[in-house]
Structure 1
């Protein structure tokens, strides 16, 4: 027995929307699981961004779940069919619940991306940091009315899902506000996709790596395009065949939600795929001449360059998107302390296992620190 037999209102655009949403959701969930694994087993960086990402994933899963239920009860199918099968009440109820969680998932996803880019940028560029904080705050503030506005379109409010009282509802205010927050979401997605390119551009790394990372981290621009389409599709709520037209809105809404989660998860899981692409991640300096790492003792003092007669082994920096820049570190720690998290993509070693290190400031206080990845220790063990 197929879904159409069990749910007579299921059809139209609904089946395609269901398959697309579940497919993208599965990919995003795999990436989120890999991010958790990297955080627990590979390095200890990106905790704040990961927490925000998990919250965004949680609300997106809830949105997708109610979206599937809405599809089974007529979302994406023609209004006349939904009405004839007696599923109009269920369609209205589950669709507006989906909209409620969708309006929460979208801004949280933007905050999660901003949090990740803030951690990536660290203290590298104060203007970028402030702009990312502004993007996060603006999306939260302006989406709060959108979250609750849907429930005040009708008088009484329960008329929203009552098929016999739809004449007591006026959706125009909610739709017009959707145009505004949708445009804001699209601009935010595009900005969050473009800004990583400006972070990577100054780095002296292999050109293929630079463009590859720029593309991967810029995939959020597709979320911006999806936001534009779903904002336009909000007009279908006011059409004569809303259940069929809203299928378009839901399709591009789920694309926007899942693409944001997928695109922001690619850089953090890079350590797992790096061994497969080592020839693309060598910096230009490393390919032309050996890099001279300075030795540091436990108090952060500078030692001899690599290759000198000293017996002490230099630290090997292997983190990816993970080095926090330092505040107030003395000049003795400059070679490591001023490294940006993005620049650490290029620092790795294929032969030597490494153990966790902590680089302290000149006076021994942990003002700034760089925790080295111990991923390869596990791989060699």
Structure 2
């Protein structure tokens, strides 16, 4: 009979569950935005999308298995866990499933980004990426398999009460270090390759750096992998249910961060769409303001003359119509002399303002928006790369 341990008692396990499901939720947001961008652009899913979707499903499976084991006491000191929970076969099966799914999630998430780069590269870089894929997947799939076959009989891997033998700890530990080294090397290599690819294209530095940074977020996964490697020995201690907390957390954070990093390059299309909609809204508002402005009187000379006529009319009641007419004529003459523009020029300016159309304003805005673009005759330049990047993402 299994005894469930409350999270209020198992505080270390509670923290583990919070981290796992928080990272699952955040990575799900990035993945969802990535897939939404594909739908928005009416692009079909490619192999990199299927791999990253599989990575998240495996991540959720790992989080679910770990959560179930936390309810059984995982996260506490081994002597605090009820004995019936430790000898229960479910405890060992859930532990194997958690580690198995977490390692496969790492492999699938990094394979996804490597496939994206394959569509942008050629020559020796394509062969190099294929070599990374073979190394990465072979090492990780074997590591995941060892969770189930490292003992004889294999059932002893999840039921330690059975008679039999298992591989020495140093074999599993050393191979885990090797897998971690392969993973970290792949992360840094895949993060640097976009910079090498972009060197071949004639693009402005700001644009080139922006694209390269967006495609190099995997470097954070490499750093996390190195941190995870420092916690591997904790799995082989006498109190592994308590001490393995950092290994479980970092082993889960690594694929979650990789999913986010691999999705960022695809999100640039969504950001561009939102920015374009914002610019269009601003332009429309400006057009409405311009239309309302052109409908108002713009000839200050006429306004001033109206005020003068009003002033002259007031004098007519005091001094008689003769004085008013003379005063009015003198003032109009003075204004005409000091104006500096004849009536024909003023009329032409007003006509030009009134005849300005929405299409001319839009044309000006579009011209300003494209003034910083790269020259259209750059061979192998921005247009070529953006076309390949658009197809790949």
Task: Please indicate, yes or no, whether the TM-score normalized by the shorter chain is above 0.5.
Answer: yes
Question: For the Cα contact (< 8 Å) 2:7–2:13, is it kept in 1?
Answer: no
Q: CA RMSD in A?
A: 3.6
Instruction: Choose which of 129, 132, 137 in structure 2 pairs with 1:135.
Output: 132
Shift of 1:231: 2.5
CA shift in 2, pair 1:82/1:268, >3 Å: same
Q: How far, CA to CA, are the matches of 1:290 and 1:115 in structure 2? A: 28
Larger displacement relative to structure 2 (241-250 or 71-80): 71-80
- Tell whether the 8 Å contact from 1:189 to 1:221 is kept in structure 2 after alignment: yes
Partner of 1:107: 107
Q: Quote the offset at 1:160 in angstroms.
A: 2.6
**Cα distance between partner residues in 2 of 1:337 and 1:192:** 22
Contact 1:10 1:71 in 2 (8 A): no
SS of equivalent to 1:148? helix
Count of residue correspondences:
299
Q: Which residue of structure 2 aligns with residue 247 of structure 1?
A: 245
Give the Cα separation in 2 of the matches to 1:207 and 1:292.
17
Q: Which residue in the other structure is 1:340 paired with?
A: 385
Equivalences for 1:157-168 in 2 at 5 Å? Answer: 157-165=154-162, 168=165
1:176 partnered with 2:221: no
Specify whether residues 166 and 251 from structure 1 end up closer, same or farther in structure 2 by C-alpha distance, changes over 3 A only. farther
Paired with 1:157 and 1:5, the residues of 2 have a C-alpha distance of: 27
CA–CA separation in structure 2 for the residues paired with 1:149 and 1:39: 37
SS for the counterpart of 1:80 is coil
CA change 1:206–1:176 in 2 (3 A) is: same
Long gaps (5+) in structure 1: 295-333, 346-369, 374-381
The match for 1:350 is none
- Whole-Å separation in 2 of the counterparts to 1:338 and 1:133: 26
Structure with the higher fraction of residues in helix conformation? 2
Q: Which residue number in structure 2 is paired with residue 300 of structure 1?
A: none
* Residues 1:292 and 1:145: Cα distance change in structure 2 (over 3 Å): closer
1:1-381 map, 5 Å = 7=6, 11-44=10-43, 47-83=46-82, 86-87=85-86, 89=88, 90-119=90-119, 121-122=120-121, 125-165=122-162, 168-172=165-169, 173-276=171-274, 286-288=370-372, 291-292=375-376, 339-341=384-386
Deviations 1:202-252 (A, max 9, x none): 545454444343333222111112212222322122111111222211111
TM-score with structure 1 setting the length: 0.67
Mapped partners of 2:135, 2:190: distance in 1: 13
Deviating more after overlay: 247-256 vs 52-61: 52-61
Are the counterparts in 1 of residues 113 and 262 from structure 2 also a CA contact under 8 Å?
yes
Distance 2:381 2:201 in 1: 15
Matches of 1:100 and 1:57 in 2, distance apart? 14
SS of 1:79 mapped into structure 2: coil
Q: Is the 8 A contact 1:109 1:261 kept in 2?
A: yes
CA contact (8 A) 2:204 2:374 kept: no
Q: CA deviation at 1:56?
A: 2.0
Structure with bigger gyration radius = 2
Q: Unmatched 5+ residue regions in structure 2?
A: 279-365
Note if contact 2:27-2:256 (Cα within 8 Å) is conserved in structure 1: yes
Assess if the C-alpha contact under 8 Å between 1:28 and 1:262 holds in 2: yes
The residue matched to 2:244 in structure 1 has which SS? helix
Q: Which piece of structure 1 moves more, 210-219 or 178-187?
A: 210-219
1:217, 1:267 within 8 Å by CA — same for their partners in 2? Answer: yes
Say whether the 8 Å CA contact 2:218–2:261 is kept in structure 1. yes
Per-residue CA deviation, residues 144-184 of structure 1 (Å, 9 max, x unaligned), is 32122222333332223335349844451222211111111
CA contact (8 A) 1:39 1:47 kept: no
| Alignment CA distance shift 1:74-1:117 (3 Å) | farther
Q: Name the CA shift for 1:23/1:337 in 2 (closer, same or farther; >3 Å).
A: closer
SS at match of 1:81: coil
